[in-house]
Amino acid sequence: MVELLAARGLDSSDEWIVERTGIRNRHFVADGMQASDLAFQACRAALAAAGLKVSDIDLIVLATSTPDMVFPSTATILQHKLTQAALAEGDASGAGGAAFDVQAVCSGFIYALTVADSLIKTGTATKALVVGAEVFSRILDFNDRTTCVLFGDGAGAVVLEACEHDGSGAGILASDIHADGKHTGILCVPGTVCGGAVLGDPLLKMDGQAVFKLAVGVLEDAARAVLAKAGKTEADVDWLVPHQANIRIMQSTARKLKLPMDKVVVTVDQHGNTSAASIPLALDHAVRGGLVKPGQTVLMEGVGGGFTWGAVLVKM
Ligand code: UT7
């Protein structure tokens, strides 16, 4: 990346990026790959981990700001890809029920979890795939060193399932989601499709310092609000899985909540900021790595363009 910037006459260094953000690596998709392709891989892994088939799923909620198309939703494209793969492997049927996208930028996964949880609790769905998938490499301005070094591509997914109370108390304990549209200008892609052409600028713009200041404030508020809703305190949190934008934002949140950093799942060094994919990627890393265990309480929280922010408290 630093070489790419230098070739464009822009000055940066690995030292600056690591010190200011904590990012060491990130991943970009190959040409022709879309958010639904990343989501497909993540969903297959989530279904395998849950011991479920595609035909068990009756809801897909996909969080993305980098959809395959203007419409239909990436969730419906994903549903078709999952169904085709299932049929090819001999399953009698594919995924059914509703499939739709949620657009809340880096808070997308928190919003998607909240929506899927609500649909399950009202009996509308029984087994949901909740996915965050992004190809932010497609909307980066490689002439802007203040943003192009930060973001990466990725996807992560979980399965949410309705279950009778088994006494374990496992499940989503509480959610807290918010938006304030007056901050649109500090993090946006101010372009659209109109009359067969792109109108405006289709590349990401961010006022990093303004976003940073807002983020540290609302992440503390969301954490406290979701804990209060669940009747819990910071002392009940086994793991904080925050949106992976900047290690300094995560450290600040942990300090404010009096959580030691060894209770914070950090993957920003490996993936950079993958927007709606960052929380499920970090959760996957923590679960598969044996950090997060059944029975533990996990606080997930995100913040992003809109401005949007929120938190979900889960007992695993
Ligand atoms: O996911 C959605 C939420 N997004 C976020 O949470 C991002 C929040 N913001 C941030 O993470 C940080 O504000 C950044 C990482 C974007 C920037 O860090 P910062 O400590 O706020 O740096 P800054 O904007 O104050 O810039 C400091 C200096 C500036 O130079 P001068 O004006 O002091 O001479 C920048 O021009 O660093 C310069 N700079 C760079 N230098 C080398 C900005 N980008 C780069 C770069 N390489 N890539």
Domains of the chain: 2-161 (3.40.47.10), 171-315 (3.40.47.10)
Distance 8 CA to ligand 1 centre (A): 18
> Which listed residue (243, 246, 271, 285) is catalytic?
243
Answer whether 145's CB lies under 8 Å from 128's CB: no
Rounded Cα distance, 138 and 212, in Å: 23
> Which listed residue (43, 106, 148, 188) is catalytic?
106
pLDDT at position 236 is 97
pTM score, whole prediction? 0.97
Q: pLDDT tens digit string along 210-269? A: 999 999 999 999 999 999 999 999 999 999 999 999 999 999 999 999 999 999 999 999
Catalytic status, residue 163: no
Q: pLDDT tens digit string along 142-157? A: 999 999 999 999 999 9
CA dihedral 14, 1, 74, 93 (to 10 degrees): -90
Rounded Cα distance, 284 and 45, in Å: 10
237 CB-side CA count, 13 A: 29
Q: pLDDT tens digit string along 27-44? A: 999 999 999 999 999 999
User: Of the ranges 163-172, 205-214, 297-306, which one carries the lowest mean pLDDT score?
Assistant: 163-172
Mean pLDDT score across all residues of the chain: 96
Catalytic status, residue 194: no
- 3-class SS of residue 132: strand
The sign of the dihedral angle between the CA atoms of 243, 247, 250, 254 is positive
Distance 20 CA to ligand 1 centre (A): 7
